[in-house]
Amino acid sequence: MPKHLWILLLAGIIQPFAVAADLSEYSCEYEFKRYGMAGGTNVTVKDGKIQKIEHYNHQHVTNEVDANGYPLRLGFNCSVYATRGDKEQVWRDDGRVITIEYAKDSLMDGSILSVTQTTPGFLIDMSKVRHASVCGANAETPIRLYLSNTSKRCQVRIKSYLYDLAPVKRAD
């Protein structure tokens, strides 16, 4: 067999093993000192498709310190996780928008998470996440979160149930 055919044959056999999947991870963090809330989000993308979303936050209810002067950071946590292929989730891809529906009998109790891939990042809509299922006591997830490809800081919109239920009236 001519030498150039061996090279082509060898290249054809090796090529499928040489192509690696395009795997990217994006993350950001946020903090609302006024509400005592801090958290972050990670998004994993493989071959241009979102594969995994992880969101966590902690809401402080006290700023007490222990006997050594270290902050106790007592409070409540929220976490929202979604992984493509999970049997308790249904992922629907509609162009750049992904809707993730959780099973009614799962920990997420029928919640819906929506993610829009934008050119510079991801817009994550958690407005239909059932907070009682994923958060402790009065903690909450953001309503919307924007994760940029270029920044480690999230842009977050929250609605604090602690503060919005009873608006403060000013005494004039």
- This prediction's pTM: 0.71
- Per-chain mean pLDDT for the chain: 76
How confident is the model at residue 79, as a pLDDT? 86
The residue with greater pLDDT, 60 or 161, is: 60
Task: Assess contact for 151 and 28: CB atoms under 8 A.
Answer: yes
Mapping DSSP onto H, E and C, the string for 71-136 reads: ECCCEEEEEEEEECCCCCEEEEEECCEEEEEECCCCCCCCCEEEEEEECCEEEEEEEECCHHHHEC
Read off the amino acid at residue 59. Q
How confident is the model at residue 62, as a pLDDT? 65
The residue with greater pLDDT, 170 or 55, is: 55
SS3 content of the chain, % helix, strand, coil (to 5): 15, 45, 40
Domain boundaries, the chain: 21-161
pLDDT surpassing 50 at residue 159: yes
How many Å apart are CA 102 and CA 54, to the nearest integer? 14
Identify the band that residue 53 occupies on the pLDDT scale cut at 50, 70 and 90. very high
102-151 pLDDT, tens digit per residue, is 988 877 788 899 999 988 899 999 988 876 667 766 677 888 889 988 88
